[in-house]
């Protein structure tokens, strides 16, 4: 039985979203410290300060100052973190945001995108995809890939990299 506690960073400019995600995570066995960030710049600063503190970053896509994908790209380029990233989105992306998101989704550390409004199950799935054991992790990853395909079609309007494409 895995008794290790895993840290999760939650970044969203909406205080209520940060609160809800952190409450859901707090109810998940195995979840350790939960960090909170109100924008992409703060997210970047916190991860750069301690790249090993969090194994999962759940971040909104659209935030003031620096978007989630911009922060993730900078984090991956400037640190040696092993953290995985899951994006949350309610849509409304600019063309430049769609381009950056499409690019960062090709990084294997990005597990996928969940749509807002998200459910308790969506957040649990993100946690399992990052930290689950064997088959539960694989199942959660596949479910996140399916959710990402749906989000790409419904709200994001982006082209997905190959690993998110449906298998024939």
**Cα 53 from Cα 32, distance rounded (Å):** 10
Convert the pLDDT of each residue in 101-148 to its tens digit: 999 999 999 999 999 999 999 999 999 999 999 999 999 999 999 999
Q: What value does the mean pLDDT of the chain take?
A: 93
- Closest CA relative to residue 131, chosen from 5, 10, 41, 39: 5
Phi/psi at 136 (nearest 5 deg)? -70, -35
Mean pLDDT of 79-87: 96
What is this structure's pTM?
Answer: 0.95
Compute the C-alpha angle 24/164/155, nearest 5°.
65
**What percent of the chain clears pLDDT 90, i.e. is strictly above it?**
82
User: In this model, does residue 18 exceed pLDDT 90?
Assistant: yes
Closest CA to 66 of 89, 42, 30: 42
Is residue 1's pLDDT more than 50? Answer: no
Mean pLDDT of 39-59: 97
Q: Is 89 exposed, middle or buried (0-12, 13-18, 19+ CB in 10 A)?
A: buried
- Per residue in 154-166, pLDDT (tens digit) is 888 888 988 888 7
Nearest of 90, 51, 88 to residue 68 by alpha carbon: 88
Distance CA(27)–CA(22), nearest Å, equals 9
* Mean pLDDT within 76-95: 93
- Let me know how long the chain is: 168
């Amino acid at each position: 039985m895995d008794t290790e506690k895993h840290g999760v960073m939650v970044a969203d400019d909406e205080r209520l979203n940060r609160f809800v995600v952190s409450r859901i995570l707090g109810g998940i066995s195995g979840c350790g410290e939960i960090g909170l960030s109100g924008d992409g710049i703060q997210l970047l600063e916190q991860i750069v300060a301690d790249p090993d503190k969090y194994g999962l970053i759940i971040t909104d896509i659209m935030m003031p100052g620096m978007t989630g994908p911009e922060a993730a790209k900078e984090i991956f380029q400037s640190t040696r973190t092993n953290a995985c990233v899951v994006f949350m989105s309610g849509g409304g992306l600019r063309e430049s945001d769609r381009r950056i998101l499409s690019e960062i989704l090709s990084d294997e550390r990005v597990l996928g995108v969940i749509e807002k409004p998200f459910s308790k199950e969506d957040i649990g799935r993100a946690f399992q995809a990052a930290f689950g054991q064997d088959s539960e992790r694989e199942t959660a990853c596949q479910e996140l890939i399916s959710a990402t395909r749906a989000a790409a079609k419904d709200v994001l309007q982006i082209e997905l990299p190959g690993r998110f494409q449906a298998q024939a």
